[in-house]
Chain A
Amino acid sequence: MKIDEQKCIGCLECIDYCPVGAIKEGQNSAYIEQDECVECGVCLKVEACSSEALYQPKLEWPRILRAQFSDPRVVHPTTMVYGRGTDETKTNEITNRYPRGYIGIAAELGRPCVATRLKDVEKVARAILPLQVEFEQDNPTYHLFEDVKIGKMREDVLNERVLSAILEFRMPVEKAPQVLQALRKVAGEIETVMSIDIGARLESDGSNPAADVARKAGYEIRPNGKTNLGLGRPAAEGKGIGR
Protein backbone atom coordinates (compact mmCIF):
# COMPACT_ATOMS: atom_id res chain seq x y z
CA MET A 1 0.00 0.00 0.00
CA LYS A 2 1.16 3.52 -0.67
CA ILE A 3 0.04 7.09 0.01
CA ASP A 4 -0.06 9.68 -2.72
CA GLU A 5 1.64 12.59 -0.99
CA GLN A 6 0.07 15.05 -3.42
CA LYS A 7 -3.40 14.00 -2.29
CA CYS A 8 -2.65 13.50 1.42
CA ILE A 9 -3.85 16.44 3.52
CA GLY A 10 -1.86 15.35 6.57
CA CYS A 11 -4.86 14.70 8.82
CA LEU A 12 -3.21 11.43 10.01
CA GLU A 13 -6.61 9.79 10.49
CA CYS A 14 -5.33 6.67 8.72
CA ILE A 15 -2.49 5.94 11.14
CA ASP A 16 -4.47 4.09 13.80
CA TYR A 17 -6.20 1.82 11.30
CA CYS A 18 -2.96 0.07 10.37
CA PRO A 19 -2.85 -3.13 12.44
CA VAL A 20 0.95 -3.24 12.32
CA GLY A 21 1.78 0.44 12.75
CA ALA A 22 3.31 0.84 9.28
CA ILE A 23 1.67 4.21 8.56
CA LYS A 24 3.87 7.01 9.86
CA GLU A 25 3.71 10.77 10.18
CA GLY A 26 5.93 12.54 7.66
CA GLN A 27 6.77 16.22 7.36
CA ASN A 28 3.63 17.28 5.51
CA SER A 29 1.81 14.04 4.99
CA ALA A 30 1.49 10.48 6.18
CA TYR A 31 3.60 7.79 4.53
CA ILE A 32 3.77 4.01 4.66
CA GLU A 33 6.96 2.30 5.76
CA GLN A 34 7.18 -0.21 2.93
CA ASP A 35 9.34 -2.69 4.79
CA GLU A 36 6.81 -2.84 7.63
CA CYS A 37 3.59 -2.86 5.58
CA VAL A 38 2.07 -6.34 5.36
CA GLU A 39 -0.29 -5.43 2.49
CA CYS A 40 -3.38 -6.42 4.47
CA GLY A 41 -5.42 -3.68 2.80
CA VAL A 42 -7.27 -2.68 5.97
CA CYS A 43 -6.63 1.04 5.51
CA LEU A 44 -8.11 1.00 2.02
CA LYS A 45 -10.96 -1.35 2.90
CA VAL A 46 -12.28 0.81 5.74
CA GLU A 47 -11.80 3.99 3.69
CA ALA A 48 -9.48 5.44 6.30
CA CYS A 49 -8.51 8.30 3.96
CA SER A 50 -11.09 10.96 3.14
CA SER A 51 -8.91 12.47 0.41
CA GLU A 52 -8.40 9.15 -1.40
CA ALA A 53 -4.63 9.32 -1.06
CA LEU A 54 -4.25 5.61 -0.30
CA TYR A 55 -3.65 3.41 -3.31
CA GLN A 56 -2.64 -0.16 -3.96
CA PRO A 57 0.21 -0.59 -6.47
CA LYS A 58 0.52 -3.86 -8.36
CA LEU A 59 2.44 -6.30 -6.21
CA GLU A 60 5.18 -8.49 -7.67
CA TRP A 61 6.85 -11.62 -6.31
CA PRO A 62 7.82 -12.03 -3.52
CA ARG A 63 5.97 -9.01 -2.08
CA ILE A 64 2.67 -10.42 -3.35
CA LEU A 65 3.00 -13.00 -0.57
CA ARG A 66 2.32 -10.24 1.93
CA ALA A 67 -1.17 -9.72 0.54
CA GLN A 68 -1.84 -13.43 0.15
CA PHE A 69 -0.98 -14.10 3.79
CA SER A 70 -2.39 -10.89 5.27
CA ASP A 71 -5.58 -10.01 3.40
CA PRO A 72 -8.23 -12.74 3.84
CA ARG A 73 -9.97 -11.43 0.72
CA VAL A 74 -7.04 -12.53 -1.45
CA VAL A 75 -6.95 -16.12 -2.67
CA HIS A 76 -3.75 -18.13 -2.37
CA PRO A 77 -2.79 -19.30 -5.88
CA THR A 78 -1.15 -22.45 -4.51
CA THR A 79 -4.22 -23.71 -2.68
CA MET A 80 -6.99 -21.66 -4.32
CA VAL A 81 -8.31 -20.93 -0.82
CA TYR A 82 -8.88 -17.64 0.98
CA GLY A 83 -7.48 -17.13 4.45
CA ARG A 84 -4.35 -18.55 5.98
CA GLY A 85 -5.09 -22.14 6.92
CA THR A 86 -7.09 -25.18 5.93
CA ASP A 87 -10.45 -26.67 6.83
CA GLU A 88 -8.57 -28.42 9.68
CA THR A 89 -11.02 -29.60 12.38
CA LYS A 90 -13.89 -27.59 10.90
CA THR A 91 -14.81 -30.36 8.45
CA ASN A 92 -13.12 -33.32 10.10
CA GLU A 93 -16.23 -35.49 10.09
CA ILE A 94 -16.06 -35.35 6.29
CA THR A 95 -12.35 -35.10 5.48
CA ASN A 96 -11.09 -37.42 8.22
CA ARG A 97 -8.05 -35.16 8.43
CA TYR A 98 -7.62 -36.15 12.07
CA PRO A 99 -8.75 -39.74 12.57
CA ARG A 100 -8.67 -41.29 16.02
CA GLY A 101 -5.12 -41.76 17.24
CA TYR A 102 -3.91 -38.53 15.62
CA ILE A 103 -3.45 -35.01 16.91
CA GLY A 104 -3.33 -31.76 14.98
CA ILE A 105 -1.07 -28.97 16.17
CA ALA A 106 -0.75 -25.55 14.59
CA ALA A 107 1.48 -22.59 15.28
CA GLU A 108 0.22 -19.30 13.88
CA LEU A 109 3.12 -16.90 13.88
CA GLY A 110 2.48 -13.18 14.15
CA ARG A 111 -0.97 -13.53 15.69
CA PRO A 112 -2.38 -11.48 17.30
CA CYS A 113 -1.51 -8.24 15.48
CA VAL A 114 2.27 -8.47 15.84
CA ALA A 115 3.02 -9.79 12.33
CA THR A 116 5.96 -11.97 11.40
CA ARG A 117 8.81 -12.22 8.96
CA LEU A 118 8.73 -15.52 7.09
CA LYS A 119 12.22 -16.26 8.39
CA ASP A 120 10.68 -16.78 11.82
CA VAL A 121 8.20 -19.20 10.26
CA GLU A 122 11.14 -21.09 8.84
CA LYS A 123 12.81 -21.13 12.25
CA VAL A 124 9.82 -22.85 13.79
CA ALA A 125 9.52 -25.25 10.86
CA ARG A 126 13.16 -26.23 11.27
CA ALA A 127 12.46 -27.09 14.89
CA ILE A 128 9.40 -29.23 14.16
CA LEU A 129 9.72 -30.90 10.76
CA PRO A 130 12.79 -33.04 11.62
CA LEU A 131 10.53 -34.70 14.24
CA GLN A 132 8.86 -36.49 11.32
CA VAL A 133 5.42 -35.03 11.72
CA GLU A 134 3.10 -34.72 8.73
CA PHE A 135 3.24 -31.17 7.36
CA GLU A 136 -0.17 -30.04 6.05
CA GLN A 137 0.18 -29.72 2.28
CA ASP A 138 -3.09 -27.83 1.81
CA ASN A 139 -1.78 -24.94 3.89
CA PRO A 140 -0.26 -22.18 1.72
CA THR A 141 2.80 -22.00 3.98
CA TYR A 142 3.80 -25.49 2.80
CA HIS A 143 4.47 -24.20 -0.70
CA LEU A 144 7.14 -21.78 0.49
CA PHE A 145 9.53 -24.57 1.43
CA GLU A 146 12.32 -25.97 -0.72
CA ASP A 147 12.96 -28.91 1.56
CA VAL A 148 10.13 -29.81 3.90
CA LYS A 149 12.10 -32.60 5.55
CA ILE A 150 14.39 -30.12 7.25
CA GLY A 151 12.15 -27.05 7.07
CA LYS A 152 14.23 -25.06 4.59
CA MET A 153 12.26 -22.19 3.08
CA ARG A 154 13.18 -20.58 -0.24
CA GLU A 155 15.66 -17.76 0.26
CA ASP A 156 13.81 -15.06 -1.67
CA VAL A 157 10.78 -15.04 0.66
CA LEU A 158 12.47 -15.06 4.06
CA ASN A 159 12.33 -11.31 4.68
CA GLU A 160 8.71 -10.89 3.65
CA ARG A 161 6.50 -9.64 6.47
CA VAL A 162 2.94 -10.93 6.84
CA LEU A 163 0.18 -10.45 9.40
CA SER A 164 0.38 -14.12 10.24
CA ALA A 165 1.29 -17.49 8.76
CA ILE A 166 0.28 -20.89 10.03
CA LEU A 167 2.31 -24.06 10.28
CA GLU A 168 -0.05 -27.04 10.53
CA PHE A 169 1.08 -30.52 11.50
CA ARG A 170 -0.50 -33.89 12.10
CA MET A 171 1.05 -36.62 14.20
CA PRO A 172 0.26 -39.76 16.20
CA VAL A 173 -0.96 -38.91 19.70
CA GLU A 174 2.22 -40.21 21.34
CA LYS A 175 4.40 -37.77 19.37
CA ALA A 176 2.48 -34.65 20.42
CA PRO A 177 4.32 -33.99 23.73
CA GLN A 178 7.65 -33.96 21.89
CA VAL A 179 6.30 -31.48 19.35
CA LEU A 180 4.89 -29.21 22.06
CA GLN A 181 8.21 -29.28 23.84
CA ALA A 182 10.05 -28.32 20.66
CA LEU A 183 7.55 -25.51 20.03
CA ARG A 184 8.06 -24.21 23.55
CA LYS A 185 11.81 -24.15 23.04
CA VAL A 186 11.74 -22.39 19.68
CA ALA A 187 9.20 -19.87 21.00
CA GLY A 188 12.06 -18.34 22.92
CA GLU A 189 14.07 -17.88 19.74
CA ILE A 190 11.64 -15.98 17.49
CA GLU A 191 11.14 -12.25 17.14
CA THR A 192 7.35 -12.45 17.21
CA VAL A 193 4.48 -14.22 18.96
CA MET A 194 2.64 -17.35 17.95
CA SER A 195 -0.80 -18.64 18.85
CA ILE A 196 -0.83 -22.39 19.42
CA ASP A 197 -3.70 -24.76 18.59
CA ILE A 198 -4.16 -28.42 19.37
CA GLY A 199 -7.09 -30.49 18.16
CA ALA A 200 -8.38 -34.00 17.70
CA ARG A 201 -11.42 -36.11 17.02
CA LEU A 202 -13.28 -36.62 20.27
CA GLU A 203 -13.57 -40.04 21.86
CA SER A 204 -16.95 -41.71 22.06
CA ASP A 205 -17.25 -40.65 25.72
CA GLY A 206 -16.75 -37.02 24.66
CA SER A 207 -13.21 -36.70 26.00
CA ASN A 208 -10.67 -34.75 23.97
CA PRO A 209 -7.35 -36.56 23.42
CA ALA A 210 -5.67 -33.31 22.35
CA ALA A 211 -6.61 -31.54 25.56
CA ASP A 212 -5.55 -34.57 27.59
CA VAL A 213 -2.14 -34.67 25.93
CA ALA A 214 -1.57 -30.96 26.48
CA ARG A 215 -2.63 -31.05 30.12
CA LYS A 216 -0.46 -34.06 30.88
CA ALA A 217 2.47 -32.23 29.32
CA GLY A 218 1.82 -29.28 31.64
CA TYR A 219 0.16 -26.82 29.27
CA GLU A 220 -2.88 -24.75 30.15
CA ILE A 221 -5.92 -25.14 27.92
CA ARG A 222 -8.11 -22.12 27.28
CA PRO A 223 -11.76 -22.66 28.33
CA ASN A 224 -13.07 -21.71 24.90
CA GLY A 225 -12.35 -22.96 21.43
CA LYS A 226 -13.91 -24.56 18.40
CA THR A 227 -16.22 -27.54 18.44
CA ASN A 228 -17.23 -29.30 15.25
CA LEU A 229 -20.74 -30.60 15.84
CA GLY A 230 -20.43 -33.45 13.35
CA LEU A 231 -23.37 -32.39 11.21
CA GLY A 232 -21.53 -32.75 7.93
CA ARG A 233 -22.22 -35.79 5.85
CA PRO A 234 -19.39 -38.10 6.87
CA ALA A 235 -17.10 -39.87 4.47
CA ALA A 236 -17.16 -43.64 4.63
CA GLU A 237 -15.01 -45.06 7.40
CA GLY A 238 -11.33 -44.76 6.53
CA LYS A 239 -12.02 -42.48 3.57
CA GLY A 240 -11.42 -38.78 3.22
CA ILE A 241 -8.07 -37.09 2.97
CA GLY A 242 -6.72 -38.54 6.20
CA ARG A 243 -3.65 -40.59 5.46
Chain B
Amino acid sequence: MTHTNHRLGERADLNHDYVVFMYAAKGFNDKDVGLKLQKFMKMGYVYQPVNAGPARTGDRFMVEPEKLPERITRSSSAYIVYDNREKAEALVKDLVKADMGISVVVSGLFDEVNNICEKAGIKSHTAMCSLGIWGKTGLLPEDSEILGIATMCGHSMIGFNLIKRMAYDVETDRISLEKASQILARPCSCGIFNPERAKDLLRRYNERKTIRAPIK
Protein backbone atom coordinates (compact mmCIF):
# COMPACT_ATOMS: atom_id res chain seq x y z
CA MET B 1 0.00 0.00 0.00
CA THR B 2 2.99 2.25 0.22
CA HIS B 3 6.01 1.96 -2.09
CA THR B 4 6.69 5.57 -3.15
CA ASN B 5 4.68 7.07 -0.32
CA HIS B 6 7.19 7.67 2.46
CA ARG B 7 10.00 9.61 0.81
CA LEU B 8 11.23 11.69 3.70
CA GLY B 9 12.79 15.08 3.22
CA GLU B 10 12.42 18.81 3.33
CA ARG B 11 10.11 20.55 0.94
CA ALA B 12 12.97 22.14 -1.00
CA ASP B 13 14.67 18.86 -1.85
CA LEU B 14 11.41 16.98 -2.37
CA ASN B 15 10.70 19.40 -5.19
CA HIS B 16 13.50 17.60 -7.01
CA ASP B 17 11.85 14.23 -6.64
CA TYR B 18 8.84 13.14 -8.69
CA VAL B 19 7.96 9.58 -9.58
CA VAL B 20 5.44 9.07 -12.36
CA PHE B 21 4.21 5.55 -12.78
CA MET B 22 1.71 3.58 -14.80
CA TYR B 23 -0.03 0.76 -13.00
CA ALA B 24 -2.41 -1.82 -14.39
CA ALA B 25 -5.29 -3.01 -12.19
CA LYS B 26 -5.08 -6.73 -11.55
CA GLY B 27 -8.05 -8.50 -13.07
CA PHE B 28 -9.31 -5.38 -14.82
CA ASN B 29 -6.82 -4.13 -17.39
CA ASP B 30 -3.56 -5.99 -16.72
CA LYS B 31 -3.90 -8.45 -19.56
CA ASP B 32 -1.54 -7.64 -22.43
CA VAL B 33 -0.68 -4.29 -20.85
CA GLY B 34 2.98 -4.63 -21.88
CA LEU B 35 2.68 -2.56 -25.04
CA LYS B 36 1.07 0.30 -23.17
CA LEU B 37 3.78 0.19 -20.52
CA GLN B 38 6.41 0.27 -23.25
CA LYS B 39 4.73 3.31 -24.75
CA PHE B 40 4.69 4.93 -21.32
CA MET B 41 8.40 4.28 -20.90
CA LYS B 42 9.25 5.72 -24.29
CA MET B 43 7.19 8.82 -23.52
CA GLY B 44 8.90 9.16 -20.14
CA TYR B 45 12.39 8.90 -21.59
CA VAL B 46 11.77 11.94 -23.77
CA TYR B 47 12.15 14.16 -20.70
CA GLN B 48 15.40 12.65 -19.45
CA PRO B 49 14.53 10.79 -16.27
CA VAL B 50 17.14 10.27 -13.59
CA ASN B 51 15.98 6.70 -13.11
CA ALA B 52 13.41 4.36 -14.55
CA GLY B 53 12.34 0.85 -14.08
CA PRO B 54 9.81 -1.81 -14.56
CA ALA B 55 9.41 -3.76 -11.35
CA ARG B 56 11.79 -6.67 -10.89
CA THR B 57 13.66 -6.37 -14.16
CA GLY B 58 16.36 -4.09 -12.87
CA ASP B 59 16.92 -0.39 -12.94
CA ARG B 60 18.74 2.17 -14.96
CA PHE B 61 22.02 1.25 -13.36
CA MET B 62 21.77 -2.41 -14.17
CA VAL B 63 19.98 -2.28 -17.52
CA GLU B 64 20.80 0.01 -20.40
CA PRO B 65 18.03 2.62 -20.73
CA GLU B 66 17.31 1.73 -24.35
CA LYS B 67 16.63 -1.88 -23.37
CA LEU B 68 14.18 -1.07 -20.58
CA PRO B 69 11.01 -0.66 -22.66
CA GLU B 70 11.49 -4.09 -24.22
CA ARG B 71 12.01 -5.73 -20.84
CA ILE B 72 8.66 -4.88 -19.31
CA THR B 73 6.39 -7.18 -21.24
CA ARG B 74 5.85 -9.37 -18.17
CA SER B 75 5.32 -6.46 -15.80
CA SER B 76 2.13 -4.69 -14.76
CA SER B 77 3.77 -1.41 -13.82
CA ALA B 78 6.50 0.95 -14.97
CA TYR B 79 8.24 3.86 -13.26
CA ILE B 80 9.90 7.08 -14.34
CA VAL B 81 11.78 9.32 -11.89
CA TYR B 82 12.44 13.00 -12.54
CA ASP B 83 14.47 15.55 -10.65
CA ASN B 84 12.07 18.41 -11.26
CA ARG B 85 8.34 18.98 -11.49
CA GLU B 86 8.43 20.52 -14.96
CA LYS B 87 9.49 17.21 -16.47
CA ALA B 88 6.74 15.42 -14.57
CA GLU B 89 4.24 17.98 -15.80
CA ALA B 90 5.34 17.52 -19.39
CA LEU B 91 4.91 13.75 -19.18
CA VAL B 92 1.51 14.02 -17.49
CA LYS B 93 0.28 16.32 -20.26
CA ASP B 94 1.44 13.79 -22.85
CA LEU B 95 -0.22 10.94 -20.95
CA VAL B 96 -3.53 12.78 -20.78
CA LYS B 97 -3.40 13.23 -24.55
CA ALA B 98 -2.41 9.59 -25.11
CA ASP B 99 -5.46 8.38 -23.12
CA MET B 100 -4.26 4.81 -22.68
CA GLY B 101 -6.86 3.90 -20.04
CA ILE B 102 -4.29 2.66 -17.52
CA SER B 103 -3.90 4.25 -14.09
CA VAL B 104 -1.19 6.85 -13.67
CA VAL B 105 0.10 7.92 -10.26
CA VAL B 106 2.45 10.76 -9.40
CA SER B 107 4.41 10.71 -6.16
CA GLY B 108 5.59 14.12 -5.07
CA LEU B 109 4.56 17.25 -3.23
CA PHE B 110 0.76 17.25 -3.16
CA ASP B 111 0.28 20.92 -3.98
CA GLU B 112 2.70 20.71 -6.89
CA VAL B 113 1.02 17.57 -8.23
CA ASN B 114 -2.36 19.29 -7.96
CA ASN B 115 -0.88 22.14 -9.92
CA ILE B 116 0.35 19.69 -12.55
CA CYS B 117 -3.17 18.25 -12.82
CA GLU B 118 -4.68 21.69 -13.26
CA LYS B 119 -2.23 22.53 -16.04
CA ALA B 120 -2.96 19.19 -17.70
CA GLY B 121 -6.69 19.90 -17.51
CA ILE B 122 -7.60 17.01 -15.22
CA LYS B 123 -8.83 16.49 -11.67
CA SER B 124 -6.94 14.00 -9.56
CA HIS B 125 -8.98 11.05 -8.31
CA THR B 126 -7.49 9.53 -5.14
CA ALA B 127 -4.63 10.38 -2.80
CA MET B 128 -2.54 8.47 -0.29
CA CYS B 129 -0.82 10.42 2.48
CA SER B 130 1.94 9.49 4.86
CA LEU B 131 1.55 9.97 8.59
CA GLY B 132 5.23 9.29 9.07
CA ILE B 133 7.04 6.61 11.04
CA TRP B 134 5.63 5.33 14.32
CA GLY B 135 6.88 2.82 16.84
CA LYS B 136 10.44 2.29 18.01
CA THR B 137 11.91 5.21 16.10
CA GLY B 138 15.04 5.11 18.24
CA LEU B 139 16.15 2.31 15.91
CA LEU B 140 16.40 4.81 13.05
CA PRO B 141 19.43 6.98 12.32
CA GLU B 142 19.13 10.53 13.56
CA ASP B 143 20.44 12.04 10.34
CA SER B 144 17.63 13.21 8.09
CA GLU B 145 19.84 12.80 5.00
CA ILE B 146 20.36 9.10 5.70
CA LEU B 147 16.63 8.62 6.13
CA GLY B 148 15.93 10.70 3.04
CA ILE B 149 18.12 8.41 0.95
CA ALA B 150 16.88 5.15 2.50
CA THR B 151 13.22 5.99 1.99
CA MET B 152 13.68 6.47 -1.75
CA CYS B 153 13.56 2.69 -2.06
CA GLY B 154 10.04 1.71 -1.06
CA HIS B 155 11.10 -1.85 -0.33
CA SER B 156 13.85 -0.86 2.14
CA MET B 157 16.56 -2.52 0.07
CA ILE B 158 19.07 0.29 0.65
CA GLY B 159 20.27 -0.04 4.21
CA PHE B 160 21.56 2.67 6.50
CA ASN B 161 25.03 1.10 6.66
CA LEU B 162 25.49 1.25 2.90
CA ILE B 163 24.49 4.90 2.82
CA LYS B 164 26.89 5.79 5.63
CA ARG B 165 29.66 3.89 3.90
CA MET B 166 29.04 5.73 0.64
CA ALA B 167 29.12 9.04 2.49
CA TYR B 168 32.41 8.06 4.09
CA ASP B 169 33.91 6.84 0.82
CA VAL B 170 33.00 10.12 -0.87
CA GLU B 171 34.30 12.19 2.01
CA THR B 172 37.63 10.36 1.91
CA ASP B 173 37.86 10.56 -1.90
CA ARG B 174 37.65 6.81 -2.37
CA ILE B 175 34.83 7.22 -4.89
CA SER B 176 33.05 10.06 -6.65
CA LEU B 177 29.65 11.36 -5.63
CA GLU B 178 28.33 10.14 -8.98
CA LYS B 179 29.60 6.62 -8.41
CA ALA B 180 28.27 6.55 -4.84
CA SER B 181 24.76 7.50 -5.98
CA GLN B 182 24.84 4.75 -8.61
CA ILE B 183 25.93 2.15 -6.08
CA LEU B 184 23.08 3.24 -3.82
CA ALA B 185 20.60 2.91 -6.68
CA ARG B 186 21.46 -0.68 -7.51
CA PRO B 187 19.58 -2.54 -4.75
CA CYS B 188 16.30 -0.81 -5.73
CA SER B 189 14.65 -3.32 -8.07
CA CYS B 190 11.82 -1.03 -9.12
CA GLY B 191 14.05 1.81 -10.27
CA ILE B 192 12.24 4.44 -8.18
CA PHE B 193 15.42 5.60 -6.42
CA ASN B 194 16.45 9.15 -7.29
CA PRO B 195 20.27 9.22 -7.58
CA GLU B 196 20.40 12.98 -8.23
CA ARG B 197 18.63 13.71 -4.97
CA ALA B 198 20.86 11.15 -3.28
CA LYS B 199 23.90 13.11 -4.42
CA ASP B 200 22.51 16.28 -2.87
CA LEU B 201 21.73 14.51 0.38
CA LEU B 202 25.15 12.85 0.57
CA ARG B 203 26.83 16.18 -0.08
CA ARG B 204 24.75 17.87 2.59
CA TYR B 205 25.38 15.04 5.06
CA ASN B 206 29.12 15.30 4.60
CA GLU B 207 29.13 19.09 4.81
CA ARG B 208 27.07 19.04 7.97
CA LYS B 209 29.33 16.44 9.52
CA THR B 210 32.34 18.60 8.73
CA ILE B 211 30.70 21.60 10.35
CA ARG B 212 29.95 19.54 13.43
CA ALA B 213 33.51 18.19 13.72
CA PRO B 214 35.44 19.55 16.71
CA ILE B 215 37.86 22.39 15.99
CA LYS B 216 41.39 21.44 16.93
Q: Which residue numbers of A lie inside 8 Å of B, CB to CB? A: 15-21, 40, 42, 45-46, 70, 72-73, 81-95, 98, 104, 106-115, 136, 138-139, 163-164, 166, 168, 180, 183-184, 187-188, 190-202, 204, 206, 208, 210-211, 214, 219-233, 235, 240-241
A87 and B124 in contact (CB under 8 A), knowing A163-B155, A166-B1? no
Tell me the number of A-to-B contacts counted with CB atoms below 8 Å. 291
Tell me which residues across on chain B come within 8 A of A164, comparing CB atoms: 155-156
10 closest residue pairs by CB, A with B: A230-B125, A19-B159, A199-B128, A106-B1, A232-B103, A91-B25, A233-B101, A187-B134, A196-B131, A92-B126
Nearest B-chain residue to A98, judged by Cβ: B126
Contact B124 A227 (CB under 8 A): yes
Tell me which residues across on chain B come within 8 A of A115, comparing CB atoms: 156
Tell me which residues across on chain A come within 8 A of B172, comparing CB atoms: none
Q: What are 9 of the A-B contact pairs (CB < 8 Å)?
A: A72-B155, A94-B103, A110-B156, A191-B136, A204-B123, A208-B129, A223-B111, A226-B128, A227-B127
B3: Cβ under 8 A from any A Cβ: yes
A233 and B1 in contact (CB under 8 A), knowing A17-B159, A199-B129, A206-B114? no
Tell me which residues across on chain B come within 8 A of A201, comparing CB atoms: 125-126
Tell me which residues across on chain B come within 8 A of A110, comparing CB atoms: 156
Contact A192 B136 (CB under 8 A): yes
Contact A83 B155 (CB under 8 A): yes
For B109, B113, B132, the residue with the greatest tally of chain A CB atoms inside 10 Å of its CB is: B132
Contact A211 B127 (CB under 8 A): yes
What distance in Å separates the Cβ of B108 from its nearest Cβ neighbour in chain A?
A: 6
